[in-house]
A = this chain, B = another copy of it.
Amino acid sequence: MSKSNNVYKDAYNRGLRLLDETKSLPSEPELGTLLGVSRTTIRTILTRMEETGLIAWNKRSKTVLRVPRPDDFFPEEETDTLSQIIERSFMRRLLAGGAEPGMQINELELAREIGVGTTSVREFLIRFSRFGLIEKRRNSHWVLKGFTRAFALELTEIREMFELRSAAAFAALPEDSPVWADLDLLEDEHRLLAREIATRFNEFSELDERFHRLIHRASHNRFIVDFYDVIAMIFHYHYQWNKAQERERNEVAVAEHLAYIAALKSRDLGKVDTACRKHLKSARHTLLTSIPEGQQP
């Protein structure tokens, strides 16, 4: 089992959704850009669609014969990237407790436990190391630094520095910059979510990420933009971990975002700074309260 065909399976599933909408599929290169895969993969997809009687395929003509049924889709778990699988396993271990700072991480053991090769685990750990939670000892094992209070404080310190700067840069952007339209759209989404917060509160974290990434992009600095990956990763798992008062927290955050957006639109740097600081302060507070105190070194 040298390489899973998850790219194909995932693209196939997404491709099935196209069949609902049209009576015939576009050209192979067009499908490729649409699904973000190569033509080779598109042809494998089309081959299977033909075999399962979903389409009739002859050269340029790809006629839809029937609408896809639930059992036409590949199971969700087969569409994941290996690195996603490893990340999930690793984070589960890390957050499930018993992961004391200073503990050493064994590549071979991790690989065996997850049921993958050591190379993939190594590559994951190298990629993951930039999040500052693990560290490598020269030709030896990895050491877990732990998701501690210190980590959260260091993370938020940088976050605040970067976001204040990005927000100021954002507000200074010219009238005709396309970001203002993006901001308007996000504002609408926020208002909509605010109105239905009681039922849709769990959709906030995705909106949150899009909003902050838009602001960070205004910095035009790759290190600032890339740093948001660290924040996003932590928040992603943090939200899965800590569901306490999720609705209330998100309701407050949406309101703060709206104030923040209004400040940006006013282009008044003082107002932007105030609104940004206020939101960052409560974000930090939320993160800090969620850290299990027992895990401190």
Binding site for B on A (CB under 8 A): 7, 36, 119, 122-123, 126-127, 130, 132, 138-139, 145, 151, 154-155, 157-158, 161, 165, 220-224, 226-227, 230
How long is the Cα–Cα vector from A84 to B222 in the complex, in angstroms?
25
- CB of A154 within 8 A of CB of B223, answer yes
So how many copies of this chain end up in the complex? 2
Contact: B139 with A223, CB < 8 Å? Answer: no
Q: Tell which of B123, B132, B145, B158 touches A126, judged by Cβ atoms closer than 8 Å.
A: B123
Instruction: Say whether B122 contacts A154, CB under 8 Å.
Output: no
4 more CB-based (< 8 A) A-B contacts, given A119-B119, A161-B161: A123-B126, A132-B226, A154-B222, A161-B165
How near does chain B come to A57, taking the closest CB pair, in angstroms? Answer: 25
Q: How far is the CA of A138 from the CA of B41 in the complex (A)?
A: 14
* Interchain Cβ contacts under 8 Å between A and B, 5 examples: A36-B138, A123-B123, A151-B222, A154-B222, A161-B165
Docked complex Cα distance between A227 and B154 (Å): 13
Return A40 CB to nearest CB of chain B, in Å.
12
Nearest B residue to A127, CB-CB: B126
Determine the chain B residues whose CB is within 8 A of the CB of A130 once the complex forms.
130, 226
Q: How far is the CB of A24 from chain B (nearest CB, A)?
A: 28
Residues of the B chain whose Cβ atoms lie less than 8 Å from the Cβ of A127: 126
Instruction: Give the top 10 A-B pairs by smallest Cβ distance, nearest first.
Output: A154-B221, A132-B222, A158-B223, A126-B126, A130-B130, A154-B222, A126-B127, A157-B221, A119-B119, A7-B139
Contacts of A122 in B (CB 8 A): 123
Closest chain-B Cβ to A217's Cβ sits at a distance in Å of 13
Contact flag A224-B158 (CB < 8 Å), given A7-B139, A36-B138, A139-B7: yes
Among A127, A222, A224, which residue has the most Cβ atoms of chain B within 10 A?
Answer: A222
